[in-house]
Amino acid sequence: MKAIKLILPAMALLLASCERDTELDPPAFVKQPVLISYISPSDALIKAELSYTVPYFGKYQDTAERIYNAAVSITDESTGATAILPHQANGVYSVNANSLPIEPGHRYTMRVELPGGFTCSSSTTVPPQPKIDDLKIVSWSMGDKRESNWGYVYWPFSLQMNYAGEFAENEYLFAEFMALLEDGPFGLYEENMWFNNSGMAGGTGAPYKLFGESQFGEYGTADPSFQFLSGTLWIVDENYKAFFETQYQNESNPFQEPILFHSSISEGALGFLGSYTLATGDIWP
């Protein structure tokens, strides 16, 4: 044991003597084009935004250089029809959706050509159109009246909805709904619902179960009663979902760690072409 006690301090001294500061040069910045576009049958315009990347190291920049002189087109691979997206302003290219209707189940490819001949592209298959009538409330529960430590009075409530529609394993179901509750003679009040499994993948077979919860604050003196839900049901493709989720990580903070944004663009360009469908309406128990 005495030998061990003598060896350990010696090892610590040896390791400490090997420590030194090292300066590393940041990686060289390579300017790359960025394409951001998402299409839907519900949109009046087919739109794309083009810009260049900005350096992560060095002087902080909160704006990107826009691309004004690109040739942008979109093709319906199911029909062969193509529409040109003229430049409108500030790097935004768009065309009326009547020029090329966006249809569920069709595959679309967007192509970009920059001056000098650089070209890139990305493709997406538009998800199926959801139907509000396929969404049913199967259970509803209002908890007992509660009071927080600072005197806030509320009722927790939860519900389960089943969606009977079908969508593929690389497509995702999102729900955004408000619950409307009646507080006796004091009228109707809205509360945002939170669905803990919103964004579920398809391909597993209906029904797809959505579990929501929220709480109702005390506005009057009567116990609240649930009336109906009002909101939107979305089905999005994989590109749209991945880009959407990275947006919550982007805090526009120059000191945060770099974020690896999802990209589906060819030829080393960045960005994505995504697609989504939606349906809005009311759901009654």
What pLDDT digit, counting tens, does each position of 193-209 carry?
999 999 999 999 999 99
The half-sphere exposure of 279 on its side-chain side, counting CA atoms within 13 A, is 17
SS (H, E, C) 180-208: EEECHHHCEEEEECEECCCCEECCCCCCE
Q: How far apart are CA 9 and CA 48, in angstroms?
A: 64
Regarding beta strands 33-39 and 119-125, do their DSSP bridges make them parallel or antiparallel, or are they unpaired? Answer: unpaired
Q: How far apart are CA 30 and CA 271, in angstroms?
A: 15
Q: How far apart are CA 263 and CA 48, in angstroms?
A: 15
- Say what the pLDDT of residue 4 is: 46
Structure tokens at 152: 């806030």
Q: How far apart are CA 38 and CA 247, in angstroms?
A: 14
pLDDT mean over 65-73: 95
0.85 exceeded by pTM:
no
Q: Quick: pLDDT tens for 162-218.
A: 999 999 999 999 999 999 887 766 677 888 999 999 999 999 999 999 999 998 876
Burial class (CB in 10 A: 0-12, 13-18, 19+), 243: buried
Q: Nearest-CA neighbor of 208 among 244, 172, 157, 236?
A: 172
Q: Which segment of 34-43, 75-84, 257-266 scores lowest on mean pLDDT?
A: 257-266
Structure tokens at 11: 């090892």
Q: Is the pLDDT of residue 7 over 70?
A: no
Mean pLDDT of the chain: 86
